[in-house]
Amino acid sequence: MDWFPLWNSLRIAAIATVVIFFLGILAAHWIAKLPRVLKGILDVVLTLPMVLPPTVVGYLLILLLGPKRPIGAFFLNTFGIKLVMTWWSAIFATVVVGFPLMYRTVRGAFEAFDKDLAYAGRTLGLSNSYVFWHIQMPACRQGIVAGTVLAFARALGEYGATSMIAGYTPGRTATIATTVYQYWRTDNDAMALRWTLINIAISAVVLLAVNLLERNPKKTSKRRKGAA
């Protein structure tokens, strides 16, 4: 059995999740402070990939990154780098479709954050960056963890946009999702089911690990009261 689709899917999802993690936190932190109208406009733009069909997202990426398009042609002619039909082309697709999940989840956590904690930190002479990383981020960790897990799961199972911008080449661009489709298309239901079960197992393990690592807020508060 060729395990390349598993390895390729995991590395694509891992790299995409790292990118989404920082972009999502940055966007959520910045946009949460904007006026309501501007925030609404940016929300529509940033979360649009979440409601668009994945094939439409893939088509738009091809229009943007294709070898005959300005960006794609620039990288191809200047650096000899082709932005489509490679294994890492799927990273573009997974970042675009996974970003809205991270952004919306983290922004909701930031908006629910008790601003009095930040004000108290500043009155003690703490910098804005210290307040953000050492007070706000820990307080919002559950939303951040949830958004990260959702982004990873979405990246791991992405098919539509990935198949359009990266295609399916065994041993080069194949992912679990595209492999399932190819086996189904060729009437190899046994292999299609096997890869489906592998994907389900990985997703279940990730979600279980997060549930085990997350601390219950009520239990945490009880421990603190007991210690006091």
The pLDDT tens digits of the residues spanning 101-136 come to 999 999 988 888 888 888 888 888 888 888 888 888
Nearest to 19 by CA among 70, 87, 81, 93: 93
Tell me the pTM: 0.86
Give CA–CA dist 125/86, Å, rounded.
Answer: 50
**Best CA proximity match to 137, nearest among 152, 118, 116:** 118
Dmax (CA) of the chain:
67
Write down the residue that tokens 């595209």 correspond to: 178
Instruction: Using pLDDT thresholds of 50, 70 and 90, give the confidence band for residue 224.
Output: very low
CA atoms in the 13 A half-sphere facing the CB of 15: 13
**Backbone φ/ψ region at 80: left (φ over 0), alpha (ψ -120 to 50), beta:** left
